[in-house]
Structure 1
Amino acid sequence: MPVSMSSLSSLTRLSLGQNNFRGSIPASFGNLSELSELFMGKNKLIGSIPFELGRLFKLRFLRLSSNNLTGMVPPQLYNMSSLRVVSLSVNQLHGTLAPDFDLALQINLEKNAINGPTPKSLGNLNDLEIFTAFDNSLGTNSGNELHNIMNTLSNCSNLRELSLGANNFSGLLPLSMANLSKFLSYFDLQENYISGSIPVGIENLLNLQLFSVGDNMFSGSIPESIRKLSKLEQIWMYRNKLSGKIPSSIGNLSQLSILALAENKLKERIPDSLGNCKRLLAIDLDSNKLTGMIPGPIFELSSLSIGLFLGGNQLTGPIPMQIGNIRNLGTLNLSENKLSGGIPETLSNFQGLEFLSLAGNHFEGTIPKSLNQLKGIQFLDLSSNNLSGQIPKFLGELNLLQSLNLSYNMFEGEVPIDGLFKNISAFSVVGNSKLCGGVEELRLLASEACRNGVATLGSQNGGPNTLPTMVNQSMAIMTMPAVGTPGGVPGPTTNLNIGMDYWGTATPPILPALHGKASPAPVARGMVTAGSRDSIQSQLWLQDERESARRSRLRKQAECDELAQRAEALNEENASLRLELSRIRNEYDQLLAQNASLKERLGEEVPGQEDDHPVGNDTQQTGQT
C-alpha cells in the first residue's frame, strides 16, 4: 500500500478496491483530512485498522471488507459521526460492538468475530437502513436478550434490512418484533438458539420480502397470519421443531419464490394451494412427516427451476405423468418416501435436470428408455426400490453422469461395460442378485453365465464370495464438485447428500438441499434479483450435512448390518472349512505314517534284490567278453 498517497492533502475520494494490495493500511492515511470516501475492499490487507482513521472527520463512506484485517475496531472509528456507510465485513475483527455513527445509513460487519451484547445505542441511529452482523459471535446465549434487541431496533424507523443470523442469540422472539420498521424487507435470524413460537405479529411487517429463521429451535405451528405478507418472496424456516400442517394460506403469496421448510415436524398433506405460487423457484419440504400424494398443481409450476425437495417424508402414490411440465427443474429429490408405480417416461422432459434421487421407495418396472434424454444429469440414485429388467446401456453414454446408484433392486442380466460403467468408483449395483458380466473389478460371473441362465450372487451383488473390504471398494463413489454448480439456492439449507457417506466415503454433499445461508443480497421489485439468485446457487454447496449425514448413517448402518450377517455366515463357513482341513491333515498324517511303514518293509526286501543285480551284470559282461 503506497504510503506516498498520504501527502495528497486535497484528496476527497480514494478507491483502491478489488486489487491485490498487500500489507497493512498506512496510519498516515489519517492525514487525508479532506477524504470523504475510502474504498479498499477485496484486497489482501492485513494488520489492524489504524486508529488514525478516526481523524478523518469528513469521511462518509468507509469500505474495508473482504481482507484479512485483525484486531479490534478502533473506538475512534465508532465515534465518527460523519460516516454514512461502514463496511468491514469478511475480515477477522473482534471485540464488542459500540456504533455511534449518528448519521449511518448502512453498517455491514458480517463474517467477523465480534462478540458481546448488541448495544442499545443502535436505537439512536435514526437514519439506519441496513444493519448486517451475520456470522459473528454476538449475543450471550443466555436470557431473553432478543427482547431488548427488538425494542432497541424498533426505534430505527427507516430500517429496511436486518441480518443477525449465525450468532449466539437465544430466548424467545418477542411480540415487539411487530414494532420494527414498516419498511423492513429483509429479516434474518437463522442459525441462532431462538425458541418458542413465531409471533403472530409478523403480519405487521407488510413490506417483508425475506423471512429467514431457519436452524433455530422454534416450535408450534406456522402462523396463518403469514398470508398477509403479500410481498413475501423467500421463506426460510428449515431445521426447527415446527409442527402442524403447512398453512394453505401460503398459496396466497403470489410473489413467493423460495419455500424452505425442511427438517421440521410438519405433517398431513402438502396443500394444493402451493400451485397458486406461480413464481416459485424452489420448494424444500425434505425430512418432515408429510403424507398423502404429491399435489398435482405443484407439477404445473413451470417456474420451478432450482429444485423440488420432498425427500424423507411419508408420501404415497405414483408420480403423475404431468411432472414433465416442470421442464426447467435442476434438482428433484423424492427419496425415502412410500411412492410406488413406475418411473414416468415424462422425466425425459427435464433437459436441465442435474440431480435426481428416487431412492428408498417402492418403484417397480424397468428404467424407461426415454431417460436417455437426460443429457445434463450428473447424479442419479434409483437404489432401494423394486426395479427390474436389464440395466440400460444408455446410462453409460450420458456424458455428464458422474455418480449412478442402482443398488438393492431386482436388475438382472449383463452389467454394461462402456462409458461410466468402466469406472467402478462411479456406480454401484450391489444387492442385485441376478447380475453378471461388467468390468472385472465387479467380480461377477462371466456374461456367458447370464446367457446360460445360471447367474448367481457375485461380489458386487452380494454373493458368498464377497468379502467386506471387497464390497466397500466396489461401493466407493467418486467425489463430485461441490462449488459453482447451477441449481442451488440462496439462503438457508442442507441436506440431500443422499449417498456419499452411505457409500463409506467422506465426501462433500452430492445432492444439494435448499437450506444454508440466506442470501445477504436484498430482493427487489417483486422478484429475486440476479445477485440474490447467484448467491443462492453458490451458497447451496456451503450448507452443512447434518441431516443428510444422519440419513446416510442409517442407510450405511443397514448396509453394515447386512455385511455383518454375511461376515458371520462366512465365519461359520470358514470354521467348517477349518474342521474339514483338520480332518484332511489327520488323514494326511495317517497316510504319511503308512507310507513310512511301507518304506521300512520295502527297505528290508530291496537290499537282497540289489545284491542280485551285480551278479546278473557280471554274467552279462562275462558273456560279452
Structure 2
Amino acid sequence: MNSKKPILCLSSFSPIRFLFYVIVIFLIIFSINSASCDGGNETDYQALLKIKSMITQPPYGALSSWNNSLHLCEWSGVTCGKRHRRVTSLALDSLGLEGFLSPHVGNLSFLRELSLPNNNFQGVIPSELGRLSRLRFLYLNENKLNGAIPGNISSCSKLEELDLSENRLVGGIPKEISFLSKLIFVSLEDNNLTGGITPFLGNITSMEEFSAVGNSLGGSIPDTLGHWKNLKTFYCSHCKLYGTIPHSLYNLSLLTEISLADNQLTGSLPTAIGTMLPNLVLVQLWGNQLTGPLPPSISNCSRLLGLELLENNFSGKLTIDFAKLRDISFLSLGSNTFGSKEADAMKFIDTLKNCTKLEILDLGYCAFKGLLPRSIGNLSNQLQHLHLGENQLHGNLPISIDNLVGLTSLHVGGNQLTGNIPSTIGKLQKLQVVFLYKNQLSGTIPDAIGNLSSLITLDLFSNMLEGVIPSSMGNCHRLLELYLNDNKLNGRIPTRLLQLSSLSKVLNLSQNNLFGSLPTEVGYLNKLTTLDLSYNNISGNIPSSLGDCVGLSKLSLKANLFQGEVPTLGVFANESAFSVLGNSKLCGGFVDFVLPKCNEIKKHKKKFPLFVIVILIAFTFLAIMCLAYAWCKKSRRQLSQSLMTDRFLKVSYNQLLKATNGFSEANLIGNGGFSSIYKGILDEDNGRFVAVKVLHLQNQGAQRSFMRECEAWRNIRHRNLLRIITSCSSIDFQGNDFKALVYEFMSKGSLHDWLHSSEGTSRLSLLQIANILIDVASALDYIHNHCLPTVVHGDLKPRNILLDDDMVAHVGDFGLARFLGTTSYQNSSTGIRGTIGYAAPEYGLGNEMTSSGDVYSFGILILEVMTKKNPSDDIFNEGFSLHKFASMALPDHVTDIIDVNILNIYQEDENTMQNAMKINECLASTVKIGVSCSMDSPQQRMDIKTVVRELQHIRNTLQNI
C-alpha cells in the first residue's frame, strides 16, 4: 500500500488548484513588499510635506506639483530610486524660497543629494542632517542660514561635497569634519566663521578643493594641510591669517590655484617655488607683508594665467623670464619696492612681448628706475590695463603706444617722463582712463585726444604743457573728470569743452595762463560737482548761467581778473562752496561776502568827454613809463620782485603796516631767528586774512634767507606747500630797508601749536595725524622728485607745518632751502643747516645738504607727533635720542610711548575699541616709518615715495575702522 501513495497523490493533482496556490503565494509576497515600500514612501511623503510647510513664501508655481494628485516621485525637484522608490535627491536650486529648513529633512534616509542653493532659507542648519548616512552632496550655499555648523554632520560618512558658502554662519570650523574621509570639496566662503583653520582638517587626505574666503578666521595656516596631497585649489583670502605660509604647502605638486590675498602673512617665497608647484595657474598673494625677491623659478610655471602680488614688501630686481609664461593674462606686481639701479632693470618688459594673452600689467607704486622701455609698444594688443605710475621712470612716452589697441586704462603718472604726448594716443579708441599727471611732459595737448570717444577720466595735472586747450575735447562725450591744472596752458577756455554735459565730477583748469572771459555755455555743466578755474587770467563778468550748475558743491574762481556782480543763485548761495578771492573788481553777492555793493560802484562813475579821456590816457601812459624806468633802476637790489608774476598783488610797506595794525604785538603770531610773523587783513585782496613775514634784516643771514625763499617760491607750487600771495621789498618810514613775504593765512596754526601749546585743548586723532603726515610727505616727494632743480627744504619741523581750515597741512619757511645741481648762492656750504634735533647728523660733519636730510627731519617729526616729545627735551642727552626712544619700543611696546591723548581718543570710541588690533598695528607702523626715516646712515633711510605709500596704507586701514 505504501508504494501506491505517490500514485494516489499524483492522481489527485489539479492544475487549477496549483495555479490558485501560486497566485495566493505571489499576492502574499507582493503585499509584504508593497507594505514595506508604501511605508517608506509614507515617511518620505510626510517629510517632504513638513519641509514644504516651513517654506513661508514659495514663489508662484515653485512647489505647485507637491500635492496628492501626483506621486511624490513626480514632484518638482524630487528624484527617487528606481528600485525602492525612495527619495534620493532633493534639488530646489534658485527658486527664491523663503523660510526655514525643516528638521524632518533628516527622515529622508535614502537621500544622496540635498541641493538648496540661491534661496532665502534662514535659521540654523538642522542637526538632523547627521542622520543622512547615504548623503554625498550637500549644497546650502547662497542663503541666510545662521548659527554654527553642526558637528554631527560628521555622521554623513559618505559626504563628498559640502558647500555652505554665502550664509551668516558663526563659530569655528568643527573639527568633527575631519572624520569625513571621502570629502573632496569644501566651500565655506563669505560667512562669519572664526577660530582659525583647525589642524585636524589635515586628516582629510582626499581633499581636492577648499575655500574659506571672506571669514575672520585668524590664526596661522596649519602645517598639517600638507597632507592634502590631492589638493588642487586653496582659497583663504580675506581671512585675517598671519604668520608664514607653511613649507608643506609648497610640496603639493598638484596645486593649480592658491589664493591667500588680503591677510597678514609674512616671510618670503621659496627660491624653487616654480619647480615645486609647476602646475600653478593662479597665484593671489596681494595685500600681505611678504618680503624678499621674486624667485626666477616662477618662469617654470608655464600654465600660469594670473600672478597677483601687489601691496606687499617684495623687493629687488625682476629677473623672471616672462617669455615662458605665454598664457599669462594678468600680472599685478604693484605697490612693492621692486627695482634696482642697474641699467637693465626694466629689461623684463622685453620678455613680455610673447605674452599675447596679457590683459592686465600693474607695476605701479614701486621703485622702478630708468628709461621707460619702448618695448611697451610691443605688448599684447589684448592689454586692457597698463599701470606704471608712481615710479621713477624717465624718457618719452613711445609713439608705438598706438599698438595697444585694447587699452582701456593707461597710468604712467607720477614719474619723470619728458617730451610730448604722442598724437598716436588718439588711436586707442577704447581708452577710458588716462593718468599722465606729475611728469615733465611738454608741448601741446594733441588734438587727437578728441578721438578718444570712450574717455572717462583724463588727468594731465602738474606737467609743463603749453598752448591752448584743444576744442576737440568736446568730442569726448563720456568724459566725467578732467584735470589740466598746474601747467602752462594759455588761450581761452573752449566753448565746446563747456558743452560736455557728461562732465559730472571735476573740471580743474587752475594754475595756468588762461585768459578771456568765461563763456556762458558753462551753464551746460549742470551735473558738475567741482569746478576750479583759480590762478588764471580770466576776465569779464561771472556769467549768471553758473547758477544753473545745480550740482556744484565746490567752485573756485579766485586769483583771476573777474569784474562785475557776483550772482546769488545756485552755488553762490553757499559761502563755503565757492571762492572769488583775488578778484578785486567784484561786487555784490550776499552780505557775508563783504564785497562792495554794485550800485555804490556805479553811482561814483562819471562820464567824461572823449578828449578828456584821451588826455588822461596819454598822461597815464607817460606816468607809467616814468615809474617803469625808476622801478627798473631800483630792481637790481630787489631780487624778490622777480618771483612775482602778474597774477600776484603788489603791496607797499604802508599797506602791510595798515594790514597788521602797525605790526602790533597783538597781531604777532610767531618769531624766528630771521623774521617775525604777523596776522593781518589785506584790504587790497578783498579783506583776506594773511600772514606777513617781516625779515629782521639787521640779523646776519636774514637777507640771504629772504632771497632763498623768494627763489624757492618762484620755482615750486603744490597743494601741500604754503601758498605765497606776494612779497614786498621797500623802505620803512625811517628810511630803512624793509622786506616781507605775504602768505595765505593758516587758521588752524602750526603743527607745533597742536602738539605743545598749553592753551589748546584740541587733540589730533590718529586719522588726522595720518592725513597730516601724508600731506607733508607728499610735499617732500614733490620738491625732491618732481622739481627741476631738486629742492631741499633744510628746516623741516612742526613749527613750519601749517594747517588750514580743513586741517590740510602746508609746508612753509624755505629760508634755508638749497637747490641741488646749481652753482648759485643757495648751495653755499657754510651757514646754518636746520634746527638742532631735526637736522640730519651728517650735517654736523660738514656734509652738503641733501634730500635725505629732509627725510631724517621728517622721521623725527613723525616720532614727535606720535610721542609728543620734542627731540630737544631734557631726557634726550648723552647719546639717548628720540630715535632710540622710539626704536626701543618696537615692535611690542609701542603703546608705551604713544601720546596718551591719541590713545584716549580711541578708548572713548566703542567702535574703535573693537578694532584695537588694527589700531595698534597702525600705531606701530607709523612709529616704524619714523624710525626708518631717522636712521643715522642716509643710505638706510626710507625713500620718500615709499613713505607716502606706507602712510596711505595706514590711512586706508584707519578709514575702514
TM-score by length of 2: 0.48
Counterparts of 1:424-439 in structure 2, within 5 Å, are: 424-439=575-590
* Residue 430 to residue 19, structure 1, CA distance change in 2 (3 Å): farther
Q: 2:173 corresponds to which letter in structure 1?
A: I
Counterparts of 1:30-69 in structure 2, within 5 Å, are: 30-69=178-217
Q: Which residue, 463, 474, 478 being the options, matches 1:328?
A: 478
SS of residue matched to 2:688: coil
Structure 2 CA distance for aligned equivalents of residues 558 and 51 of structure 1: 50
Q: Which residue, 400, 404, 416 being the options, matches 1:265?
A: 416
Question: Once the two structures are aligned, what percentage of the paired residues are identical?
Answer: 33
Look at both structures and tell me which one has the larger radius of gyration over its CA atoms. 2
* Residue 550 to residue 205, structure 1, CA distance change in 2 (3 Å): same
- Alignment gaps of 5+ in structure 1: 470-496, 507-543, 563-625
Does residue 335 of structure 2 align to residue 185 of structure 1?
Answer: no
Q: Which residue, 467, 481, 496 being the options, matches 2:689?
A: 467
Structure 2 CA distance for aligned equivalents of residues 207 and 111 of structure 1: 26
* 1:195 paired residue number: 339
Describe the superposition over 1:34-92 as per-residue Cα deviations: whole angstroms up to 9, x where unpaired: 33222222222222111122222222222211221211111112441222221111121
* 2:465 paired residue number: 315
SS of residue matched to 1:421: helix
Q: 1:72 corresponds to which letter in structure 2?
A: S
Counterparts of 1:291-310 in structure 2, within 5 Å, are: 291-305=442-456, 307-310=457-460
Alignment size in residue pairs: 489
Does residue 282 of structure 2 align to residue 130 of structure 1?
Answer: yes
* Residue 467 to residue 276, structure 1, CA distance change in 2 (3 Å): closer
Q: 1:297 corresponds to which letter in structure 2?
A: A
Structure 1 CA distance for aligned equivalents of residues 811 and 203 of structure 2: 66
- The answer as to whether partners of 1:435 and 1:450 remain within 8 angstroms in 2 is no
- The answer as to whether partners of 1:167 and 1:192 remain within 8 angstroms in 2 is yes
- Alignment gaps of 5+ in structure 2: 1-147, 606-648, 650-654, 660-680, 692-717, 724-743, 749-773, 784-800, 814-961
Structure 2 CA distance for aligned equivalents of residues 17 and 371 of structure 1: 51
SS of residue matched to 1:394: helix
Structure 2 CA distance for aligned equivalents of residues 48 and 462 of structure 1: 67
Q: 1:271 corresponds to which letter in structure 2?
A: P
* 2:395 paired residue number: 244
326-335 or 368-377, larger mean C-alpha shift: 368-377
* Residue 223 to residue 467, structure 1, CA distance change in 2 (3 Å): closer
Structure 2 CA distance for aligned equivalents of residues 223 and 56 of structure 1: 50
Structure 2 CA distance for aligned equivalents of residues 212 and 105 of structure 1: 22
SS of residue matched to 1:187: strand
- The answer as to whether partners of 2:192 and 2:216 remain within 8 angstroms in 1 is yes
Describe the superposition over 1:326-350 as per-residue Cα deviations: whole angstroms up to 9, x where unpaired: 1101111111000011111101342
* 1:346 paired residue number: 496
Q: CA deviation at 1:7?
A: 3.4
* 1:170 paired residue number: 315
Describe the superposition over 1:520-559 as per-residue Cα deviations: whole angstroms up to 9, x where unpaired: xxxxxxxxxxxxxxxxxxxxxxxx8875997799998999
Structure 2 CA distance for aligned equivalents of residues 549 and 325 of structure 1: 38
Counterparts of 1:386-535 in structure 2, within 5 Å, are: 386-452=537-603, 463=685, 465-468=687-690
Q: Which residue, 145, 149, 169 being the options, matches 1:2?
A: 149
Q: 2:521 corresponds to which letter in structure 1?
A: S
- The answer as to whether partners of 1:443 and 1:460 remain within 8 angstroms in 2 is no
Structure 2 CA distance for aligned equivalents of residues 195 and 423 of structure 1: 49
* Residue 23 to residue 397, structure 1, CA distance change in 2 (3 Å): farther
Q: CA deviation at 1:408?
A: 1.0
Q: Which residue, 142, 145, 170 being the options, matches 1:22?
A: 170
Q: 1:292 corresponds to which letter in structure 2?
A: G
- The answer as to whether partners of 1:123 and 1:154 remain within 8 angstroms in 2 is no
* Residue 559 to residue 241, structure 1, CA distance change in 2 (3 Å): closer
Structure 1 CA distance for aligned equivalents of residues 231 and 492 of structure 2: 63
Q: 2:335 corresponds to which letter in structure 1?
A: E
- The answer as to whether partners of 1:429 and 1:461 remain within 8 angstroms in 2 is no
* 1:337 paired residue number: 487
SS of residue matched to 1:107: strand
TM-score by length of 1: 0.72
* 1:111 paired residue number: 262
Q: 2:419 corresponds to which letter in structure 1?
A: E
- Higher relative contact order, chain-length normalized (CA < 8 Å, sep 6+): 1
199-208 or 55-64, larger mean C-alpha shift: 199-208
Does residue 513 of structure 2 align to residue 362 of structure 1?
Answer: yes
Structure 2 CA distance for aligned equivalents of residues 561 and 55 of structure 1: 64
SS of residue matched to 1:72: coil
Q: 2:325 corresponds to which letter in structure 1?
A: S
* Residue 89 to residue 446, structure 1, CA distance change in 2 (3 Å): same
- The answer as to whether partners of 2:208 and 2:228 remain within 8 angstroms in 1 is no
* Residue 32 to residue 371, structure 1, CA distance change in 2 (3 Å): farther
* Residue 104 to residue 465, structure 1, CA distance change in 2 (3 Å): same
* 1:227 paired residue number: 377
Q: 2:688 corresponds to which letter in structure 1?
A: T
Structure 2 CA distance for aligned equivalents of residues 226 and 444 of structure 1: 55
SS of residue matched to 2:546: helix
SS of residue matched to 1:70: coil
- The answer as to whether partners of 2:720 and 2:810 remain within 8 angstroms in 1 is no
Q: CA deviation at 1:414?
A: 2.3
Q: CA deviation at 1:243?
A: 0.7
Q: 1:159 corresponds to which letter in structure 2?
A: L
Q: 1:215 corresponds to which letter in structure 2?
A: Y
Structure 2 CA distance for aligned equivalents of residues 131 and 50 of structure 1: 23
Q: CA deviation at 1:434?
A: 1.7
Describe the superposition over 1:349-407 as per-residue Cα deviations: whole angstroms up to 9, x where unpaired: 42221211101101111221112112321111111111112222332332221111111
- The answer as to whether partners of 1:431 and 1:461 remain within 8 angstroms in 2 is no
* Residue 209 to residue 369, structure 1, CA distance change in 2 (3 Å): same
* Residue 461 to residue 343, structure 1, CA distance change in 2 (3 Å): farther
Q: CA deviation at 1:499?
A: 9.2
- The answer as to whether partners of 2:492 and 2:516 remain within 8 angstroms in 1 is yes
Structure 2 CA distance for aligned equivalents of residues 449 and 47 of structure 1: 76
* Residue 449 to residue 547, structure 1, CA distance change in 2 (3 Å): farther
Structure 2 CA distance for aligned equivalents of residues 462 and 127 of structure 1: 73
* Residue 425 to residue 126, structure 1, CA distance change in 2 (3 Å): same
Q: CA deviation at 1:264?
A: 0.5
- The answer as to whether partners of 1:309 and 1:332 remain within 8 angstroms in 2 is yes
- The answer as to whether partners of 1:242 and 1:265 remain within 8 angstroms in 2 is yes
Q: 1:127 corresponds to which letter in structure 2?
A: N
Q: 2:468 corresponds to which letter in structure 1?
A: P
SS of residue matched to 1:162: strand
- The answer as to whether partners of 2:595 and 2:686 remain within 8 angstroms in 1 is no
Structure 1 CA distance for aligned equivalents of residues 591 and 810 of structure 2: 23
Structure 2 CA distance for aligned equivalents of residues 319 and 427 of structure 1: 24
Describe the superposition over 1:140-170 as per-residue Cα deviations: whole angstroms up to 9, x where unpaired: 4xxxx33xx12x2112110111111111111
Describe the superposition over 1:258-301 as per-residue Cα deviations: whole angstroms up to 9, x where unpaired: 11100111001111111121211111110100000011112111
Q: CA deviation at 1:443?
A: 2.3
* Residue 121 to residue 14, structure 1, CA distance change in 2 (3 Å): same
* Residue 356 to residue 498, structure 1, CA distance change in 2 (3 Å): farther
Q: Which residue, 301, 304, 307 being the options, matches 1:156?
A: 301
Q: CA deviation at 1:498?
A: 6.8
